[in-house]
């Protein structure tokens, strides 16, 4: 099939949120598509769409995500625009994506994965173990909150929402003694000046799909499918197939402290998973290795193992 490529007069419309990180991800997608098909930037149009999760008042008020919705907070308006035909593809941080897409949409393109690790952000310290007793830690992530309290139950964890720049300003204003970001975001924004220390996955297992850019399209759009196939990174897709199968089987949501990481090592796939009580009082972890092609089944089996170990009542969200 011959692809009808976009042109400056009829550009491919790329939908994205408007944060600096979201735009950086959209620009990377544009650059990779342009390189793959030898097309200039003018062949693409970046369309910024404001989502519910970007509501400035809710960010400033540090409203917890679970109070105002779920993962669809960062995708709903973008997906509606794509279904209307206002945009052709949508660029997302995959960790923000629900495991199921709306009817008519598909998420099957992933760019090469960036650094998966969390970053400890503090102007003077390099580890949660360096924090004084009762220190104030800012994060909007239920996973990080649970992991922090599991390791350091003495800490005072406060809600800390907003994009990278907003969170850094809150830290500078003294709202908390430290905060956390994803290393991938810091690297994609070239923010070498941020006082960040990478945290090994052994110390803080990252969010499922952390560090990955996912590109969504309409399921019946053969042109978008053909173009995106050219920039899809196979290994990242294999890793995410295992991680997102684990998440789906755990019924993951924004009210769920879940961590997971799949890595390809020596021709095999290693999958680690962790579930925690929201208050950090208990954490259950699993670590398995198998064939890369078995990744999705590994994820499903691991989820059942974790749920069995957790027992009834482990998660409030399952009651």
Choose the catalytic residue: 54, 96, 118, 177.
Answer: 96
Q: Which spans in 152-233 are helix H?
A: 164-172, 183-188, 222-229
Tokens of 138: 């800012």
pLDDT tens, residue by residue, 202-259: 999 999 999 999 999 999 999 999 999 999 999 999 999 999 999 999 975 556 799 9
Tokens of 62: 């540090």
3-state secondary structure (DSSP) of residue 180: strand
pLDDT tens, residue by residue, 56-95: 554 455 555 555 445 566 788 999 999 999 999 999 999 9
The 8 Å CB, 24+ separation contacts for 82-85 are: 82/15, 82/216, 82/217, 82/218, 83/218
pLDDT band at 137 (very low <50, low <70, confident <90, very high): very high
* String of DSSP letters for 34-77: HHHHT--GGGEEEEE---GGG-HHHHHTT--HHHH--GGGGTHH
CA–CA dist 52, 161 (Å, integer): 13
Contact assessment for residue 94 and residue 214, using Cβ atoms and an 8 Å cutoff: yes
Contact assessment for residue 72 and residue 98, using Cβ atoms and an 8 Å cutoff: yes
pLDDT tens, residue by residue, 293-309: 999 999 999 999 999 99
CA–CA dist 165, 181 (Å, integer): 11
pTM recorded for the entire structure? 0.89
Of 18-22, 82-86, 197-201, least confident by mean pLDDT is 18-22
CA–CA dist 202, 208 (Å, integer): 15
Q: Give the residues across from 291 on adjacent strands.
A: 268
Contact assessment for residue 288 and residue 302, using Cβ atoms and an 8 Å cutoff: yes
Tokens of 190: 């070239």
Label residues 206-245 b or e (16+ Cβ within 10 Å = b).
Answer: bbbbbbbbbbbbbeebeebbebbeebebeebbbbbbbbbb
Residue 305 neighbours by CB under 8 Å, 6+ apart:
286
Q: Is 279 a catalytic residue?
A: no
């Amino acid at each position: 099939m011959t692809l009808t490529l976009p042109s400056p007069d009829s550009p491919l419309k790329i939908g994205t949120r408007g944060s600096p990180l979201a735009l950086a991800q959209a620009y990377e997608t544009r650059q990779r598509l342009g390189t793959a098909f030898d097309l200039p930037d003018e062949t693409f149009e970046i369309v910024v769409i404001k989502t519910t999760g970007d509501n400035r008042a809710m960010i400033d008020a540090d409203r917890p995500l679970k109070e105002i919705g779920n993962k669809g907070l960062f995708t709903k308006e973008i997906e509606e625009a794509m279904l209307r035909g206002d945009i052709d593809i949508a660029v997302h941080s995959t960790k923000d994506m629900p495991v199921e897409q709306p009817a008519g949409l598909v998420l099957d393109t992933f760019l090469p994965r960036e650094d998966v690790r969390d970053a400890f952000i503090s102007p003077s310290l390099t580890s949660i173990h360096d924090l004084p007793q009762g220190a104030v830690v800012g994060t909007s992530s239920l996973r990080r909150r649970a992991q922090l309290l599991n390791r350091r139950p003495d800490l005072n964890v406060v809600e800390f929402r907003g994009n990278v720049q907003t969170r850094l300003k809150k830290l500078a204003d003294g709202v908390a003694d430290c905060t956390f970001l994803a290393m991938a975001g810091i690297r994609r924004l070239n923010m070498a000046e941020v006082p960040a220390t990478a945290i090994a996955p052994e110390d803080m297992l990252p969010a499922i799909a952390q560090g990955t850019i996912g590109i969504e399209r309409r399921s019946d759009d053969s042109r978008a499918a053909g173009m995106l196939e050219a920039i899809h990174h196979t290994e990242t897709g294999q890793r995410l197939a295992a991680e997102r199968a684990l998440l789906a089987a755990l019924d993951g949501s924004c009210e769920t402290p879940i961590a997971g990481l799949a890595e390809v090592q020596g021709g095999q796939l290693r999958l680690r998973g962790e579930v925690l009580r929201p208050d950090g009082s208990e954490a259950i972890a699993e670590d398995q290795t198998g064939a890369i092609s078995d990744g999705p089944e590994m994820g499903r089996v691991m989820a059942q193992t974790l749920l069995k170990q957790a027992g009834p009542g482990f998660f409030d969200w399952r009651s």
